[in-house]
A = this chain, B = another copy of it.
């Protein structure tokens, strides 16, 4: 167990936004929410998964919907606690032992800190993705057959819903339509889980990893190339591209930020072009019309100079970025993982190939 101080929270927000692969919300907004919550309620305890009792009961808290909406629809702050408590009450659980994020992301890593601070609950060092994904069934608990429901949903106006669905795809469908009606974003608590389930099916250590990533990115002691090297070593990643955003096509549709961006290479990549397709999160990266990285592997955009993560809602013409690719957690690389969040699920007719192989193949072709 350790306490999360202000610096830790700032680093977690940045690192989680990096792992959010474009989705999961803006880390600046997320950080403000969490810092304001600990300032008011005192620090939050972070427990590792090993420290959790098997029979204890945990509820995650998250934002659902198009992250871009959050900028205009800033949460009041009590919605997170409200939806969390509503689910606890519905489940008839007197004692909730803690909370944790559903996914990485600048906002979705911070919401559980707000809940933990406001309710004096521990935060557990795990999540259900190890990255961010756009749909509710794209969760490692789902891969292990755990139900997403009962779930609770609320909006900033105060409307509340509780769902029990026949499977997790129906959770996504019904919660998505409610989210769209609520104004394209909502707050949710779902996948209520025991300690044993967290140990078995969660992505462990993800908050600490986010913090370490954030520390590197925020560091003022290193040059950008050294920072990049430290970052790539930590996350076992690859720099896939350096470029300037020359086109962004997007729409907010069905509670998602959908689109595609085109990057024109700079420096060593001057002759090259990259396209990145996204649905809240970056899903497919094509270098010179050839796929170089694909979901469930992580495609992370960072600022060229500062390495600060770039979310899909903040893509701007002319912005200079680096594209970094990371292998997904091993749970995502199983048959069920690829069926759930691989390229074909999103409508891209590619056989999933691990990023390591694609990078190796591309290097071989260009020697």
Chain A contact residues, CB within 8 Å of chain B: 90, 157-166, 170, 173-174, 176-178, 180-182
Q: Which residues of B contact A159 (CB under 8 A)?
A: 163-166, 170, 174
Min CB gap A186→B, angstroms: 10
| Smallest Cβ-Cβ distance to A182: which chain B residue | B174
In contact, A160 and B170 (Cβ under 8 angstroms): no
Across the interface, do B166 and A163 meet the contact criterion of CB distance under 8 Å? Answer: no
With A and B bound together, what is the CA distance between A81 and B117 in angstroms? 41
Q: Name the B residues within 8 Å of A174 (CB-CB).
A: 159, 161, 178, 181-182
User: Which B residues are CB-close (under 8 A) to A166?
Assistant: 157-159
Known: A177-B177, A177-B180, A178-B177. A160 touches B161 (CB 8 A): no
A180–B177 Cα gap in the complex (Å)? 9
Which residue of B is nearest A180, CB measured?
B177
The 12 sampled A-B contact pairs (Cβ below 8 Å) are: A90-B90, A157-B170, A158-B166, A159-B164, A159-B165, A159-B166, A160-B164, A161-B163, A161-B164, A162-B162, A176-B181, A178-B178
A178, B173: Cα distance in complex, Å: 9
Contact for A165 among B90, B160, B163, B165, CB less than 8 A: B160
Give CA–CA (A163, B173) in the complex, Å: 16
A161 & B158 in contact (Cβ 8 Å cutoff): no
B-chain residues with CB within 8 Å of residue A161 when the two chains form the complex: 161-164, 174, 178
Q: How far is the CB of A137 from chain B (nearest CB, A)?
A: 14
In addition to A90-B162, A157-B170, A161-B163, 14 A-B residue pairs with Cβ atoms within 8 Å of each other are: A157-B166, A159-B164, A159-B165, A160-B163, A160-B164, A160-B165, A161-B162, A161-B164, A162-B162, A162-B163, A173-B181, A174-B182, A177-B177, A177-B178
Q: What chain B residues lie within 8 Å of A160 (beta carbons)?
A: 163-165
A4 to B110, CA, bound (A): 59
Q: What is the minimal beta-carbon distance from A223 to any residue of chain B, in angstroms?
A: 51
Contacts of A165 in B (CB 8 A): 159-160
CA distance A177 to B178 in the complex (A): 6
- Chain B residue at smallest Cβ distance from A158: B166
Residue numbers in B under 8 Å from A158 (CB-CB): 166
The distance from the CB of A284 to the nearest CB of chain B, in whole angstroms, is: 27
Which B residues touch A163, using CB under 8 A?
A: 159-162
Q: In whole Å, how far is A53's beta carbon from the nearest beta carbon of chain B?
A: 29
How many Å lie between the Cα of A90 and that of B178 in the bound state? 20
Give complex CA distance A173, B180 in Å. 10
Residue of A161, A163, A178 with highest tally of chain B CB at under 10 A: A161
Instruction: For A163, give the chain B residue with the smallest CB separation.
Output: B161
Which residues on B sit within 8 Å (CB–CB) of A164? 159-161
Bound Cα distance A182, B175 (Å)? 11
Q: Which 7 A-B pairs have the closest CB atoms?
A: A177-B181, A162-B162, A177-B177, A160-B164, A159-B165, A158-B166, A161-B163
